[in-house]
């Protein structure tokens, strides 16, 4: 059994002073397959922040062309390990290798950041003023286990594109994904201290990063409760905070929509990654007259999933990440039954023939009241709550009656009416008729789903400060400009 004993700080792999071990359990076999260092603490964070601060003095002054070339080298190093990364995620968190986008998606995001970097106006002019956008400084990146590679890649690559230095703390449920990323960045020749990795618990390492006075920005993806603690700690040193938090996204099927298309798409999107996605459309709103018809399509689509070993190409749904997540999902399914929702398919317990592995039955509830627990709490599993509405005015009220506002989905025939409905949704990203999202556009949420945005131009600007320099007209004076 392989042991992973080191952080990556200042260009060196080094053991923490308090080096314990934690077993990593394969969610399919329910047995340990590796061990990883624990004991990352405030001293390790101090070392990483110090290394990042020293590197920032030089890296923040590098040219745009140099940083674009660095991203190209990272892409090249990453592409050589895509198959390895796919297998690692299958073993570490149960993501099937058939979910290829989990491994290939980061390449597209890196290319978008690289291309944006080449055209972004780091300097602009207004009358006699030069308006500069400069790297904010040392950035702490805290990433989740459900997208264990793509999320930290997006955070790190936009930070580096801006000229910042970064410290990554991956989830302690998916530390090996963070280690592989550190190896990739090292192979690509990222300068010492520009990218650092500190492993450990969020309550220790995450808290130390959030409160550290020499961290200028913290980017966190995870639960709303954990995000609140990060924001509270960060506020004491007035650092910038970007939070992508929980969701309970609604898919509203308007009366003139193609119901079968909407239902089948809803299952595919909601149950992707075994439902462990903050953007999952885990509430589906259907006109009360079409509830039975919708339930039939949903049950049929849910029955198509092949549950099994995530390392097999034939598997389309793997286990959930660990025992704690399995238990939480089971609890919510039982609550749905106890509160009177109609169970269409799935239910409590493991699927037939799956006594090993943290497998959850793909579960659909119909005739769900908007006040029920399964309609309000983020379950983070393959569980869908189908809610009837009597009018589209009521549907909008139900959709917006949530503490969350991360994503939203609208299916309809009349494009203008559907767009008007989408405008009324209080959420950060809305898809019409199953449209794919675009990595050039910002991602983030309203309300308790977060603060700030990632991806694209707006995502780059999360890592930049704005400076106004008065009394100069750069077009007519021979002044230095932002390094190109």
Structure confidence by residue, pLDDT tens digits, 294-313: 999 999 999 999 999 999 99
Strands (E), 222-302: 240-244, 250-253, 283-287
Q: Provide the percentage of residues in the chain whose pLDDT is more than 70.
A: 98
Place of tokens 């970064």: 166
* Average pLDDT score over residue span 129-133: 93
Q: What is the mean pLDDT of the chain?
A: 96
> d(Cα 169, Cα 219) in Å, to the nearest integer?
10
> d(Cα 277, Cα 282) in Å, to the nearest integer?
10
Burial of 343 (C-beta count, 10 Å sphere; 0-12/13-18/19+): middle
* Average pLDDT score over residue span 254-279: 98
What's residue 483's pLDDT?
55
> d(Cα 158, Cα 116) in Å, to the nearest integer?
10
Which residues, including other chains, have CB under 8 Å from residue 109's CB and lie 6 or more apart? Answer: 150, 153, 154, 157, 439, 455
Which residues, including other chains, have CB under 8 Å from residue 390's CB and lie 6 or more apart? Answer: 287, 288
* Average pLDDT score over residue span 451-471: 97
Q: Domains along the chain?
A: 2-245+449-470 (3.40.605.10), 250-432 (3.40.309.10)
> d(Cα 417, Cα 412) in Å, to the nearest integer?
8
Cα separation values, 71 from 182, 461, 476, Å:
14, 18, 33
* Average pLDDT score over residue span 256-272: 98
Lowest mean pLDDT among 79-83, 127-131, 236-240, 311-315: 127-131
Structure confidence by residue, pLDDT tens digits, 3-45: 999 999 999 999 997 878 899 999 999 999 999 998 789 999 9
Q: Is the pLDDT of residue 477 over 60?
A: no
Contact 310, 274 (CB under 8 A): no
Strands (E), 127-164: 129-135, 138-142
Structure confidence by residue, pLDDT tens digits, 49-104: 999 999 999 999 999 999 999 999 999 999 999 999 999 999 999 999 999 999 99
Contact 166, 159 (CB under 8 A): yes
Identify which of 288, 280, 291, 221 has the alpha carbon closest to the alpha carbon of residue 409: 280
**Tokens, residue 47:** 């070392």
Q: How far apart are the first and last CA of the chain?
A: 48
What's residue 260's pLDDT?
98
As annotated, the active-site residues are 244, 278
Q: Is the pLDDT of residue 273 over 60?
A: yes
> pLDDT confidence of 482, banded at 50, 70, 90?
low
Residue 434 has phi, psi (to 5 degrees) of 75, 20
Contact 24, 92 (CB under 8 A): yes
Burial of 4 (C-beta count, 10 Å sphere; 0-12/13-18/19+): middle
Structure confidence by residue, pLDDT tens digits, 342-353: 999 999 999 999
Identify which of 261, 256, 323 has the alpha carbon closest to the alpha carbon of residue 298: 261
Which residues, including other chains, have CB under 8 Å from residue 126's CB and lie 6 or more apart? Answer: none
Q: Is the pLDDT of residue 384 over 90?
A: yes
* Average pLDDT score over residue span 213-222: 98
What's residue 437's pLDDT?
94
* Average pLDDT score over residue span 202-221: 97
> pLDDT confidence of 127, banded at 50, 70, 90?
confident
**Tokens, residue 90:** 């299958």
* Average pLDDT score over residue span 238-257: 97
> d(Cα 177, Cα 170) in Å, to the nearest integer?
8
C-alpha 321: how far from chain center = 15
Q: Is the pLDDT of residue 196 over 90?
A: yes
What's residue 20's pLDDT?
84
Quick one: DSSP state of residue 204? I
Question: Are β-strands 195-197 and 363-366 bridged in parallel, bridged antiparallel, or unpaired?
Answer: unpaired
Quick one: DSSP state of residue 350? P
**Tokens, residue 171:** 């989830």
Contact 263, 294 (CB under 8 A): yes
What's residue 19's pLDDT?
78
């Amino acid at each position: 059994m392989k042991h992973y004993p080191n952080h990556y700080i200042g260009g060196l792999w080094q053991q923490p002073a308090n080096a314990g071990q934690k077993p990593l359990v394969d969610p399919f076999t329910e047995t340990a397959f590796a061990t990883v260092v624990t004991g990352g603490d405030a001293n390790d964070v101090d070392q990483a922040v110090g290394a990042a601060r020293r590197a920032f003095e030089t890296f923040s002054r590098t040219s745009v062309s140099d940083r674009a070339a660095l991203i190209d080298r990272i892409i090249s190093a990453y592409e050589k390990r895509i198959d390895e990364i796919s297998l690692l995620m299958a073993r570490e968190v149960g993501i099937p290798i058939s979910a290829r986008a989990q491994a290939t998606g980061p390449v597209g995001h890196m290319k978008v950041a690289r291309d944006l970097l080449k055209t972004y106006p780091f300097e602009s002019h207004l009358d006699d003023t030069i308006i500069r956008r400069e790297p904010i400084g040392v950035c702490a990146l805290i990433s989740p286990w459900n997208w264990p590679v793509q999320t930290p890649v997006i955070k790190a690559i936009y930070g580096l594109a801006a000229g910042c230095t970064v410290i990554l703390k991956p989830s302690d449920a998916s530390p090996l994904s963070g280690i592989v990323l550190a190896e990739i960045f090292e192979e690509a020749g990222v300068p010492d201290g520009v990218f650092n990795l500190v492993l450990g618990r969020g309550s220790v390492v995450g808290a130390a990063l959030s409160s550290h006075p020499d961290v200028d920005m913290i980017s966190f993806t995870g639960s709303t409760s954990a995000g609140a603690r990060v924001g509270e700690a960060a506020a004491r040193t007035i650092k910038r905070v970007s939070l992508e938090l929980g969701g309970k996204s609604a898919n509203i099927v308007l009366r003139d929509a193609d119901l079968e298309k909407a239902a089948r798409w809803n299952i595919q999107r909601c149950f992707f990654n075994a439902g462990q996605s903050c953007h999952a459309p885990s509430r589906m709103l259907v006109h009360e007259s079409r509830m039975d018809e919708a339930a039939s399509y949903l049950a049929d689509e849910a029955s198509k999933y092949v549950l099994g070993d995530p390392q097999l190409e034939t598997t389309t749904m793997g286990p959930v990440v660990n025992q704690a997540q399995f238990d939480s999902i089971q609890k919510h399914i039982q609550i749905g039954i106890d509160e009177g929702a109609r169970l269409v398919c799935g239910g409590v317990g493991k699927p037939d023939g799956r006594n090993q592995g943290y497998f959850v039955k793909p579960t659909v509830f119909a005739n769900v009241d908007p006040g029920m627990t399964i309609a309000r709490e983020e379950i983070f599993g393959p569980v869908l709550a189908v809610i009837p509405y009597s009018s589209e005015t009521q549907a909008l009220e139900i959709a917006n009656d949530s503490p969350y506002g991360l994503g939203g989905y609208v299916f309809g025939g009349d494009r203008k009416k559907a767009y008007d409905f989408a405008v009324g949704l209080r959420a950060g990203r809305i898809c019409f008729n199953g449209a794919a999202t675009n990595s050039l556009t910002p991602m983030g949420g309203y309300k308790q789903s977060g603060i700030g945005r990632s991806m694209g131009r707006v995502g780059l600007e999360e890592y930049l400060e704005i400076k106004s320099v008065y009394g100069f007209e750069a077009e007519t004076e021979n002044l230095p400009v932002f390094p190109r």
